[in-house]
Chain A
């Protein structure tokens, strides 16, 4: 029982991070119908940016409060990662609108390889470990086989995710910007005829996806305290699985899918096999795509000629 409760807490933490990345996939897919394969690597780049800004603040500028440092890191990482994703969209995807169907995906795969190797070349291939931070824990149960703990950083992760999602939901549902996005999602040409700047709306979508990926990257760094150039690939595929599971194109679906993938992964690791936890996530991906491609909350897709 204690074990199950502890795994539940860990699963929700991990699932929050996956959910944040999954929103980037789902929004881009919704608006231009492409799988942004490089999104996982954008997440990795954001974790590196967070790491370096954190080191710069603490080592070079001498910021002593770790809370202030993390807050600045979060903002800086969101800003710079957005800049990266904006540039990527501008350089690698925008010229391909109207090209054949696989072209954007191949371009995104190329971008993913490029980002991974760029970071490896400029930051080196070794793992980057940070000393653990926010080590305080709350004991939920005591006296069982072991104490179930809730770490402060887990509370921070879930709280930041929840606050951001609320803000984000407001942005998409209630603002003119969100309305433009939903219009472009429904019919790009019609939206353009009605005076919506489609290119700008798509760019903003990429920027928003990157900002959320940057939050995920920073929280990932806080939680695990280590990052390497290859860390974008597996979380990227899992977040994509989350987006598909929740129904690609649906933002609440992405969060739901993220939480489910997080729980499946931790529970599988705890009760079945730790070595095969990635197999569990990847199998979920294959099964969902084959048997219910529209996911839990998605709309079924109609093939048009």
Chain B
């Protein structure tokens, strides 16, 4: 099936997505629709199944059931077509860490079959915009956590994908860089791209996203336009309410600062 450039095909669609590790059901028959052109936030407590879902969406983890479609292309039936459309920033994964940032980008660009001049030109810009150009001769192994996030984001942007799937893109990134990344992502969406990102920071999701899904214990508890999901309250209050969690910290510790 050719990529649908005009119609209403969602940027990403989960249908009955299911994954089990031993006795634990990590993702429990999730249905989710990310409209094209949306800035989509995926929120949920630790261990909710966000990373597992995203891994299945990008081809890193084979689902036990269900389908993932990227612009109508089935990720697991036709991985080549689907993978060409996405840029991925996974959380907590290594890079070939004895290479410099520029070498990682050159390697990936060429591996994707891009012309060398284009890769070089885009790498220059990405490194400059993400302020990694001062670490030109530093291997990725010596990067700080924030720098690693930024170079991984650069690998996700390099081939100008139609959909970005980002797992915790702002974690450990300094405020200035975070602002840069926000601007880049907002520009990307404004020019027709789609972004899905997971985060623990509700304020950030509230500020950036027009669509949001709340995942807990492998299920989608709420999904849709931000205004609908949060209603009259803040997203943080709505989240605690939806997930049914109780905020602790009020009992015990009487000796502390007494």
The answer to whether A and B belong to the same complex is no
